[in-house]
Amino acid sequence: MRIIVNGQQAFGKAALEALLERGDEVVGVFCAPDKEGRPVDPIKEFALSKGLPVYQPASYKDPETLERIRALKPDLCVLAYVVIFIPEAARSIPTHGSICFHPSLLPLHRGPSSINWPIIGGATRTGLTIFYPDDGLDEGDILLQKEIEIGPDDTLGSVYFDKIFPLGIQAVLESVDLIREGKAPRIKQDESKATYESWCKKEHAQIDWSKPVDQVYNLIRGTNPQPGAWTTRDGKNLDIFDCAKAAATGGVPGEVTGVSAAGFTVAASGGQILVKRVRPAGEGKATAGDYAASSGLVEGSRLG
């Protein structure tokens, strides 16, 4: 089966690598155009190292791009982390159409930050979907889904890199096999259960220490490492990353209740957060203990 891989970054590269390792015939690799001042995309670099043709169209509506896809005579297109819209005219060229990876259990959490929001909302489970995309946003029939557990101390980083990423690569391979064998289902998404959230941006990651401690904790871990939860100290932003819920209670929301080499604790409603890693404005990341020592943060200081 002649496969086109269209993807970006580490996930796209890993999907391409997995297909090649087991002997699938990849006839072309598509990825986003290069950006000045940015490193070469890993999938492009890897594809070129394997002697594969690489294409980087700015638009998939261009007749020349469509003809280029047709010339490859593809049987399937695998969309492995794609941010450029690909219309039906391009998706339908392969004999079996196109399949797409999305890191949520569709129709839940359609949108670009589909891992952040479940964690921020306190969900205990999420997953991934391989589906047949249409012109809607994360719409189209489902081929397969995989569930994963969100542990109480999981972060955006751990959910994606430790759980969804490796399982997603397995799901891509499984989906290709099902299509090759003529066994791939097409399950309609239940629109009555559909949810959509847009980008999780810095403006959404500001900590309100007066909120219940569980909400504060979920916000911090759901934005770690991107876009990074933040508070203020003396009018300057302070990003907060690694943290834990402390056993202690008490204190006024936003009050630093203790400082040690392990970090510093901050009061929220109904509990306290032990902050372990921070990034002061204009500086790099540092342990919270080092930051407290160098910046003069002491018990009784106020954040926010």
Q: What pLDDT score does 194 carry?
A: 98
Omega of the bond prior to 57 within 30 degrees of 0, cis? no
Buried/exposed 14-53: b ≥16 CB within 10 Å, e otherwise: bbbbbbbeeebebbbbbbbeeeeeeeebbbbebbeeeebe
Q: What pLDDT score does 130 carry?
A: 98
**What 3-state class would DSSP assign to 190?**
coil
Counting Cα atoms < 13 Å in the Cβ hemisphere of 288 gives 23
Buried/exposed 221-240: b ≥16 CB within 10 Å, e otherwise: bbbbeebbbbbebeeeebbb
Q: What pLDDT score does 212 carry?
A: 98
C-alpha 81/C-alpha 31 separation (Å) is: 10
Q: Is the dihedral of CA 111, 112, 115, 119 positive or negative?
A: negative
Q: What pLDDT score does 83 carry?
A: 84
**What 3-state class would DSSP assign to 255?**
strand
- Model confidence, pTM: 0.95
Q: How far is CA 116 from CA 12, 154, 262, in A?
A: 20, 11, 26
- pLDDT tens, N- to C-terminus, the chain (304 residues): 999 999 999 999 999 999 999 999 999 999 999 999 999 999 999 999 999 999 999 999 999 999 999 999 999 999 999 988 999 999 999 999 999 999 999 999 999 999 999 999 999 999 999 999 999 999 999 999 999 999 999 999 999 999 999 999 999 999 999 999 999 999 999 999 999 999 999 999 999 999 999 999 999 999 999 999 999 999 999 999 999 999 989 999 999 999 999 999 999 999 999 999 999 999 999 999 999 999 999 999 999 9
What is the token pair recorded at 285?
Answer: 């990341």
Q: Which domains does the chain have, with CATH numbers?
A: 2-193 (3.40.50.170), 202-295 (3.10.25.10)
